[in-house]
Amino acid sequence: MCFESAQAPSQSQSYGDALAAQVQYAPAIYAANQQYSPGYTQLALNNLSSFLNGSNGNNGFLAEYGNQILPQLTAGQTAANTQLRTANLSDAAALTPQYIATERAANPGGASLLDTLTSNTGRDLSYGTQLTPAEQVQMNQSTRGASAARGLGYGPSDVFNESMADTGYGQQLYQQRMSAAQSLVPQLSQFYGNPTGAISGMNSGAGMSANSISSLASAGAAPAQSSEFNPSAAAMQNQQIGAQLGQFNAQTQNSGISAGLGAVSNL
């Protein structure tokens, strides 16, 4: 003997039943939200105000934060930064020679060339507007050669002219020396970088971030809208499916009982 089993509802039918139930109860849900949600919203605002500003003579979060939390955070942040920066500067002082030696070892040719440029530029700049011995000889020979070419002798006026020429040439050399020194500084910086900046200059990162404080403050507020008047479609669908499965089980059990009674009556 075969027993006919009730068909389980299809997924499409279940979704359709759930949607129909939502449509059926939507006016009542809307009316309940319209009646009670403003009250819950006001309650949420009151709770937030009480949390931030306090109530019944009790301090709120803002007062506690301004009077106690913020000073402690600031003191902790300052101490942490001071300790870290002090340690970083100590590391920079200890490690900078090794840092520079590493850079020089990576490019010995460039380091040697910069050493020569630095030495020569510093030497020339130290003369100021004065001529080096070699420049003095060269300048005097040039001036005297020009005078001889014009058929002039070497009297007092020639000495004066030579002195004036040396002075003007010295000023010109000084400007050239300054320009050479200024152009050398970026080359040195580019070659060696900034050892102190590379080793130090980091903040500790200790303390409470603004996002953490905002999250802490928002945690004290009640929800702005009640959820009991807004059942989800999934919950309604589960209830609908559960009811249909219960009906299916009841039908199955009834079919079994009927079949049993039929078998007894045939004996």
CB atoms within 10 A of CB 96: 16
User: 205 near 165, Cβ under 8 Å?
Assistant: no
In a domain, 37, yes or no: no
60 occurs within a structural domain: no
Eight-state DSSP code of residue 128: T
Decide: 54 and 63 in contact? Cβ < 8 Å.
yes
Residue 178 lies in a domain: yes
Which carries the bigger pLDDT value, residue 210 or residue 257?
A: 210
Average pLDDT over residues 137-144: 67
In whole angstroms, give the CA distance from residue 88 to residue 201: 7
Cβ pair 99, 198 in contact under 8 A: yes
Count of domains observed in the chain: 1
Locate tokens 């953490």: which residue? 212
Q: For residue 265, tell me if it sits in a domain.
A: no
Tokens 């130290």, residue?
Answer: 126
The boundaries of the domain holding residue 164 are: 107-196
Give the mean pLDDT of the chain: 73
Could you tell me the pLDDT band of residue 233, with boundaries at 50, 70 and 90? very low
Rounded Cα–Cα distance for residues 176 and 170 (Å): 10
Residue 124 lies in a domain: yes
221 falls within a domain:
no
Helix 133-149 crosses helix 156-192 at what angle (to 10 degrees)?
Answer: 140
Q: What's the mean pLDDT in 234-241?
A: 50
Report pLDDT digits (tens) over 87-134: 888 888 888 888 889 889 999 999 999 999 899 888 888 888 787 777
Q: Does residue 115 belong to any structural domain of this protein?
A: yes
Contact in structure between 65 and 180 (CB atoms under 8 Å)? no
Residue type, 140: N
Counting beta carbons within 10 angstroms of the beta carbon of residue 184, is it exposed (0 to 12), middle (13 to 18) or buried (19 or more)? Answer: middle
Helices (H), the chain: 11-53, 61-64, 70-106, 108-126, 133-149, 156-192, 195-199, 210-218, 233-265
4 within domain boundaries: no
Q: What is the mean pLDDT of residues 177-193?
A: 85
In a 3-state reduction of DSSP, which class is residue 67? Answer: helix
- Taking the alpha carbons of 20, 24, 30, 36 in that order, is the dihedral positive or negative? negative
What tens digit of pLDDT does each residue of 190-221 get? 888 888 777 776 555 555 555 565 565 555 55
In this structure, how many other beta carbons lie within 10 angstroms of the beta carbon of residue 210?
7
Percentage of the chain lying above the pLDDT 70 cut: 61
Tokens 């010109």: give the residue.
172
